[in-house]
């Protein structure tokens, strides 16, 4: 005998503990199985691209903080690089090193949040999440020392960084590197080989390599599929070509691979910071740039490897003090393109897990 069943629509979000902000998914379920999914964006749209057209080049920097708010520094850096490229401004050596150090610190901080919330989505009741936040606190402390805020740093400036490192900064950072190393190892003990996590995450939400490239995925999502593509290596900006580091890649592009790639990237970031701290030269941190930058008419695209992927700024100038057009390439938005393909057929619990493994930030998706 066949019982009559019918699919039903479940709205996941916009206010839901696991949607990492205000994302909404209209999932059509057949029992526990997701048969259709429609992502709905726009609950956090603030029109940053339009706002940027109304501000001076320097005044856009605080706006870029609010894109991916768990990784403000890399957004700052991408924007600043685009304007520098457009206006032909060079940056002092020391500032370049500071940029590298801060963006790698930021990457660790952002990955800690991603990994923590991924494991939280997997159901490990807040423990890994809070461990990760405890370590992130160290980095946030350092950022606080550096630029006086804990989340929205606005630290980069066109032609350098806002201020030099305080005297206590480098000793504290040197102390932090070995501490973080041991802690990453400890957290690998916590859940890396956990049988339940393996059963939940391995083979779940596979993003095939070709699809990943085709949808324009970037960052850990792309590298989790086994594509060795990292802007820091492929198109080195700042002084990344002076450091030795590896690009960790996954094997088959499942949730577990994305999680592992993030953890390995934290280790590599520590390597970069270690080298940069050794090499950092003394000197100026900001080149002589006028208060109101007037780049010549033209356009420039600059990209950096942010925590979620390739953060790019396409800045068009008409020669005035404000950008004519400032387009933001949001990696999270692009990564979500294949969300439906990856989730359909899995259960609702996998939906949460797969979505969590993207580690999106809604500020960046909706802008």
Partner 1 sequence: MVGPNITVDALRHLAPVAPDWPGNEWWHWLVFTVILIVFILVMVIIFIYLERRIIAWFAARIGPNRTGPFGFFQNIAAALKLLLKEGVNPTNADILIFWLAPIVNFAPVIAVFAVVPFQNGALLADLNVGILFVIAIGSISTIGVFMAGWSSGNKYSMLGAMRMIAAVVSYEIPVVLALAGVVVLAGSLSLNDIVIAQERVPFIVLQPLGFLLLFVGGCAEINRSPFDLMEADSELVAGFHTEYSGIKWAMFFLGEFGEMVVMSTLIATLFLGGWQGPGLPPWLWLLIKIFIVDFIMIWTRATLPRVRIDQLMALAWKFMFPLALVNLIITAIQVLAWPDALPLYVIPINWAITVVLVLLGSKLFKLGWGRVEV
Partner 2 sequence: MKFERYGIGIAKGMTVTMRNLLRRRITTQYPEQKLTVSRRTRGNELVWNKEKCTGCATCAKTCPQGVIHIVTSVGEENNYNVEVFEVDTGYCISCGLCVEACPYDALFMAYAFELAKYRRSELVLSRDDMLIENKQASAYFRPEVDKDLPEQELLINRKE
Partner 3 sequence: MTTALLASEIAKQINESLPGAISEVTDTAIVIKGEFLPDVAAFLKNTAGLDFDYLTTITAVDYYQYFEVVYLFVSMEHNHSLTLKARCSRENPSLPSLVSLWRSADHQEREIYDLMGITFEGHPNMKRIVLWPEFQGHPLRKDYL
Site for partner 2 in 148-167 (CB under 8 A): 148-149, 152, 154, 157, 162-163, 166
138 binds partner 2 (CB under 8 A): yes
Among 64, 76, 102, 120, the residue binding partner 1 under the rule CB under 8 A is 120
Orientation of helix 72-87 relative to helix 93-121, angle to 10°? 140
Q: Which is nearer to partner 2, 254 or 364 (CB)?
A: 254
95 CB-contact burial (10 Å; exposed 0-12 / middle 13-18 / buried 19+): buried
d(CA 77, CA 55): 18
Angle at 244 between CA 239 and CA 250, to 5 degrees: 110
Among 9, 31, 35, 45, the residue binding partner 3 under the rule CB under 8 A is 45
Residue 360 interacting entry, from partner 1, partner 2, partner 3, none, C-beta within 5 to 8 Å by type? none
Residue 55 interacting entry, from partner 1, partner 3, partner 2, none, C-beta within 5 to 8 Å by type? partner 2
List phi, psi (to 5°) of 83.
Answer: -65, -40
d(CA 129, CA 143): 20
Q: Which is nearer to partner 1, 29 or 146 (CB)?
A: 29
33 binds partner 1 (CB under 8 A): yes
Q: In what order do the strands lie in the sheet with 24-30?
A: 8-12, 24-30, 33-40
d(CA 180, CA 273): 12
Among 152, 316, 321, 348, the residue binding partner 3 under the rule CB under 8 A is 316
349 binds partner 1 (CB under 8 A): yes
Radius of gyration in angstroms for the set of CA atoms belonging to the chain, rounded to a whole number: 21
Q: Which is nearer to partner 3, 310 or 350 (CB)?
A: 310
Site for partner 3 in 249-308 (CB under 8 A): 299, 301, 303
* Binding span for partner 2 by CB under 8 A among 26-34, 142-150, 241-249, 256-264: 142-150
d(CA 68, CA 50): 17
d(CA 315, CA 345): 41
What does the binding site for partner 2 look like in residue numbers (CB under 8 A)?
Answer: 55-56, 58-63, 127, 131, 134, 137-138, 141-142, 144-149, 152, 154, 157, 162-163, 166, 168, 172, 175-176, 179, 186-187, 189-199, 202-203, 291
């Amino acid at each position: 005998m066949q019982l009559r069943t019918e699919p039903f629509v479940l709205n996941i979000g916009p206010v839901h503990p696991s949607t990492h902000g205000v994302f909404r998914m209209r999932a059509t379920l057949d029992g526990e199985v997701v048969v259709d999914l429609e992502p709905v964006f726009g609950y956090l749209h603030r029109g940053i691209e339009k706002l940027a057209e109304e501000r001076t080049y320097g005044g856009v920097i605080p706006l870029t903080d609010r894109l991916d708010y768990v990784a403000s520094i890399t957004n700052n850096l991408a924007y600043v690089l685009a304007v520098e490229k457009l206006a032909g401004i060079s940056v002092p050596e020391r500032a370049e090193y500071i940029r590298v150090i801060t963006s790698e610190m930021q990457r660790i901080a952002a990955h800690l949040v991603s990994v923590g919330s991924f494991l939280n989505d997997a159901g490990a009741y807040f423990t890994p999440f809070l461990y990760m936040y405890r370590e992130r606190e160290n980095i946030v402390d350092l950022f606080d020392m550096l630029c006086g805020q804990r989340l929205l740093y606005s630290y980069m400036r066109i032609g350098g960084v806002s201020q030099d490192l305080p005297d206590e900064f480098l000793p504290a950072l040197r102390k932090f590197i070995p501490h973080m190393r041991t802690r990453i190892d400890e957290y690998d003990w916590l859940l890396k080989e956990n049988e339940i996590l393996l059963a939940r995450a391995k083979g779940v939400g596979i993003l095939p390599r070709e699809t990943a490239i085709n949808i324009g995925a970037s960052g850990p999502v792309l590298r989790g599929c086994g594509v060795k593509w990292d802007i820091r290596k492929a198109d080195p900006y700042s002084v990344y070509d002076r450091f030795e580091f590896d690009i960790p890649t996954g094997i088959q592009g499942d949730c577990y691979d994305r999680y592992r790639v993030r953890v390995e990237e934290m280790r590599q970031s520590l390597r970069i910071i270690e080298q940069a701290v050794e090499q950092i030269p003394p000197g100026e941190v900001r080149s002589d740039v006028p208060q109101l930058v007037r780049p010549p008419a033209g356009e420039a695209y600059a990209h950096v490897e942010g925590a979620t992927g390739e953060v790019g700024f396409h800045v068009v100038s008409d020669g005035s003090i404000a950008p004519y057009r400032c387009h933001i390439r949001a990696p999270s938005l692009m990564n979500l393109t294949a969300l439906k393909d990856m989730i359909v057929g899995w259960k609702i619990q996998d939906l949460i897990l797969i979505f969590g493994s993207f580690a999106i930030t809604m500020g960046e998706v909706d802008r």
